[in-house]
Amino acid sequence: MAEILLHEGDLPADVAWGDSVAVDSETMGLNLVRDRLCLVQVSAGDGVCHLVRAHPQRPAPVLTALMGDPAVLKIFHYARFDVAVLLARFGVLTQPVYCTKIASKLCRTNTDAHGLRAVCKDLLGVEISKQMQSSDWGAATLTPEQMEYAANDVLYLHRLRAALDGLLAREGRADLARACFGFVPHRAALDVAGWDDDDIFAH
């Protein structure tokens, strides 16, 4: 059974994270300018999920330092959005990054189902619910259902990374994946700078 710890404003300073953490975020919507960051989820892959309720206009120095730490790999599912949100809110360019959605698209070309729920079911045999995805993350109090949903978005990412690494190696696409992961922070920075709808590589 997972342990879920709720923190107000920032992560605790006394947690040892190791060399990789799984990260996700919950916002009031998908518009980087309009919609505020409400929650950041972090797990070291040890069955413990730390939920940080982000306070408007208040810095989160411990969380920010972790996101920018070059010695700690940050694992996301659809890293582009979360990295952009963290940059827009805290001014930190999160790196290095591993994106399980990009990895899935590169090595699981037999399917178009690359959402977290589908990938967890296909690779881990784990069923997760997405019912709370569009709930009110800005509410004064999070429900137990919201907290469980938020935790599930990070608790399986370390296992997914291991499974996807095996498939990337099998298909000969590990180097391509690493190159894509390395570009994610720059893609997120372009989103925040206003090039979110433009493909700058197009003719």
Beta strand spans in 82-122 (E): 97-99
pTM of the model as a whole? 0.96
Residue 126 counted as domain residue:
yes
Residue 87 counted as domain residue:
yes
Residue 203 counted as domain residue:
no
Identify the pLDDT of residue 7.
97
Residue 93 counted as domain residue:
yes
Structural domain containing residue 116: 3-195
| CA pair distance 11, 8, nearest whole angstrom | 8
Beta strand spans in the chain (E): 3-8, 20-27, 37-43, 48-53, 73-76, 97-99
Between the alpha carbon of residue 159 and those of residues 21, 79, 93, the distances in Å are 12, 17, 25
Count of domains forming the chain: 1
Between the alpha carbon of residue 75 and those of residues 33, 134, 197, the distances in Å are 24, 22, 24
Residue 152 counted as domain residue:
yes
What is the residue-level pLDDT of the chain in tens, covering all 203 positions?
A: 789 999 999 999 999 999 999 999 999 999 999 999 999 999 999 999 999 999 988 999 999 999 999 999 999 999 999 999 999 999 999 999 999 999 999 999 999 999 999 999 999 999 997 776 678 999 999 999 999 999 999 999 999 999 999 999 999 999 999 999 999 999 999 999 999 998 898 98
Q: What is the CATH number of the domain that holds 136?
A: 3.30.420.10
Residue 150 counted as domain residue:
yes
R_g over Cα of the chain: 16
Backbone angle region of 6, left / alpha / beta, with phi > 0 → left and psi within -120 to 50 → alpha: beta
Residue 128 counted as domain residue:
yes
Residue 201 counted as domain residue:
no
SS3 category, 36: coil
